[in-house]
C-alpha cells in the first residue's frame, strides 16, 4: 500500500477503500491514538471538524458512538462495535453513520493494521469495506485522508 488511496469493487458491487500512511512515532503510540478516546477525539475527522465521543466501551464486542461536528455545527454521528483488538497490531470495528443522508444506517467495516517500520516509526494500513457506491468510497477517501493528516499533526505535538 502507498499513501495514495486505492478503491476496488467487490463481486457484490460494494467498494473497498485502502489507505496507508507512515508516522514517525512508535507503533504503541499510533495504536493508542486510535484506541484511547481522549486522544481519538483530539484528531478524528478532517480539519475544522471537532469530535465528541459519547460512548466508548473499548473491548471486543463493545460499542462506541462518536459525533463529528462541522464548522456550521452540523452533527455527523457514527456508531459501531469493536471487533478484533490485538494491541498494538490490529483493530477492527463496524462503522455506521447515523446522520441523515445516503449512508444513514449502512454498516461498513474498518480493519486497521499497525506495523512497526523502525524503532520510532510505524505504518497504518486502513481498509474500509462494504461502501455501497463509488461516490461514497470517494467521499470516505477524502474524509480519511483529512483525518490522517490531523492524526499526523496531533502525533507531532
What does the pLDDT read at residue 5? 78
Question: Is the predicted pLDDT of residue 38 greater than 80, yes or no?
Answer: yes
**Cis omega before residue 88 (within 30°)?**
yes
CA atoms within 13 A on the CB side of 11: 0
Q: From CA 1, how far away is CA 93, in angstroms rounded?
A: 20
CB 129 within 8 A of CB 153: no
Please identify which residue in the block is written with the cell numbers 500512511.
Answer: 21
Residue 11 pLDDT: 81
Give this prediction's pTM: 0.92
Reduced to 3 states, what is the DSSP secondary structure of residue 17? strand
Start-to-end C-alpha separation, the chain: 26
Confidence of residue 1 (pLDDT cuts 50, 70, 90): very low
Mean pLDDT (the chain) is: 94
Q: Which domains does the chain possess?
A: 13-47+84-156 (3.30.530.20)
Q: How confident is residue 3, by pLDDT bands cut at 50, 70 and 90?
A: low
Question: What digits encode the pLDDT tens for the residues 93-110?
Answer: 999 999 767 778 899 999
Cα–Cα distance for residue pair 11/116, rounded to 1 Å: 32
- Which DSSP symbol is given to 1? -
Amino acid at each position: 500500500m502507498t499513501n495514495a488511496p486505492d478503491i476496488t469493487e467487490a463481486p457484490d458491487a460494494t467498494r473497498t477503500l485502502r489507505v496507508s500512511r507512515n508516522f514517525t512515532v512508535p507503533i504503541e503510540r499510533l495504536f493508542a491514538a486510535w484506541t484511547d478516546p481522549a486522544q481519538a477525539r483530539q484528531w478524528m475527522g478532517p480539519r475544522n471538524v471537532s469530535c465528541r465521543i459519547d460512548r466508548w466501551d473499548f473491548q471486543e464486542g463493545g460499542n462506541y458512538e462518536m459525533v463529528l461536528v462541522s464548522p456550521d455545527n452540523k452533527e455527523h454521528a457514527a456508531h459501531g462495535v469493536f471487533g478484533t483488538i490485538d494491541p498494538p497490531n490490529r483493530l477492527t470495528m463496524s462503522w455506521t453513520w447515523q446522520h441523515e443522508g445516503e449512508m444513514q444506517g449502512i454498516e461498513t467495516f474498518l480493519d486497521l493494521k499497525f506495523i512497526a517500520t523502525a524503532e520510532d516509526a510505524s505504518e497504518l494500513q486502513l481498509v474500509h469495506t462494504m461502501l455501497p457506491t463509488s461516490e461514497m468510497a470517494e467521499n470516505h477517501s477524502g474524509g480519511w485522508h483529512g483525518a490522517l493528516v490531523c492524526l499526523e499533526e496531533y502525533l507531532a505535538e
